[in-house]
A and B are shown apart, each in its own frame.
Chain A
């Protein structure tokens, strides 16, 4: 099982750290938009934005399974199931993908 060592993985303190005003890099804004569109496709709701909440959009595990598969196909990154659902928004998922690419 992919994420078994993370049974008690909790949201880290990361979100508490104030984001620099400049905002995310261009690359990650584009990626966040791309992920938002992917969610829209699988959640049947066009117009998803980078800061929209997965569960508020009616997201569930069956949609999550498809989205994680697509991210693996399109970006070559296998997201951890837990990280994906705890991330909650396309912008945060984009960050996870970039971390995954950077191998961190």
Chain B
């Protein structure tokens, strides 16, 4: 989807189709969300097949829906591509489990992913990012969006304990899960694409766990760590490990690349912001936060209302599905003045909801933040400037706001 919106336009809220994939591949959703925040902060849509969902678009409402598990449960699924099918992994998969069990599953993983814990990876990640950027520095036209799909695997592969030979395939599978309708990833039908990719990812992690158990190998990796945790006193089963490993693989692979591409695109369009960050690298953490807000790669997450609930001036009935539009919340003018301006020195950019809110707040946020900071440190240090070298293309997905192509050409920087 376009991250810099075009002109405001008239929107018919009654016939609006928020799941229209064209809106995201070639269209411009921001002017629509602007109108929704203003005139229909609680919006209801019925799909042609009869499934229905409510939408919230204001920052405060999105924060409440994602953050309050008593009113809005995750146990029936949290990803809008699964709307209407209760999540078979409820109560086992971290993302589709409410506290208190959720707290148990999450705690041991969290210990491995705090800002302090991931700092030990900084040098390794920097070396990886340098290698990643080398072809661009050599002056080749570089399709950043395409290449960036591999970046999280390069960064998190060793951390998770996944052998290098499997990365490319895992990246492909996670891309299928996130954008099953994108022609780059579609296999057969949307449902088949989703099922195949889930199945193969789960198989992968489960086989990995089984093999590891058999050979008794131990290492410092996250997946190995999962094998040794005992939430509530009992170890996780291989199936539970597969489900947790799956959510980590997904969480890491599908969002970081699009944050990288979307932020670079914003900078390419605004050379003065690029120059500003280059002149003063202490602005880079702010650039990262503004990039997270601007791109909102996880465009939304879903919850189900537990009981009838008042929100956004209306009522969602008990068991109703509600989609919390993070991409919209992050452009709410009541929190981010002049929200459609990309400004790396914005005050309070860090309040963005790109990582969600509350108990499910992204467990990988410290790692993602560090990876992005290192990426922009290396990019700004290595490239005097970057230009567009072809047509950008956007991901065909209403769940992940992303890019499939962003060809760029960089000018190497000749500085001390």
Contact = CB atoms under 8 A, between A and B. Distances in A.
| B is a partner of A | yes
Contacts of A7: 169, 172
B85 interface: yes
B89 A85 contact: no
A7 B21 CA distance: 24
A55 B203 contact: no
B203 A9 contact: no
Interface string B183-214: 00001110110111011101110010000000
B172 A59 contact: no
B202 A85 contact: no
A86 interface: yes
A1 B88 contact: no
A59 B127 CA distance: 44
Nearest to A55: B191
B166 interface: yes
A39 B202 CA distance: 20
A55 B192 contact: yes
Contacts of A8: 187
Contacts of A85: 188, 191-192, 195-196, 199
Interface residues of A, number: 23
A8 B191 CA distance: 16
A55 B190 CA distance: 10
A22 interface: no
Chief secondary structure at chain B's binding surface = helix
A11 B188 contact: yes
Interface string B131-175: 000000000000000000000000000000000001001001000
A1 B199 contact: no
Contacts of B199: 61, 64-65, 81, 85
A58 B85 contact: yes
A62 B88 contact: yes
Nearest to B198: A61
A70 interface: no
A82 B187 contact: yes
Contact of B169 (A1, A59, A61, A64): A1
B198 A60 contact: yes
A4 B141 CA distance: 30
B203 A65 contact: yes
A60 B88 contact: yes
Interface in A54-91: 55, 58-65, 81-82, 85-86, 88
B107 to A, nearest CB: 25
A59 B89 CA distance: 13
Contacts of A99: none
Contacts of B200: 1, 3, 81
A59 B199 CA distance: 12
A2 interface: yes
A61 B195 contact: yes
Given A1-B169, A7-B172, A82 B196 contact: yes
B237 to A, nearest CB: 13
Interface string A6-28: 01111100000000000000000
A86 B88 CA distance: 21
21 contacts: A1-B166, A1-B207, A3-B200, A4-B169, A7-B169, A8-B187, A10-B187, A10-B188, A55-B189, A55-B195, A58-B85, A61-B194, A61-B199, A65-B199, A65-B203, A81-B196, A81-B200, A82-B196, A85-B199, A86-B188, A86-B192
Interface of A: 1-4, 7-11, 55, 58-65, 81-82, 85-86, 88
Interface of B: 85, 88-89, 166, 169, 172, 187-189, 191-192, 194-196, 198-200, 202-204, 207
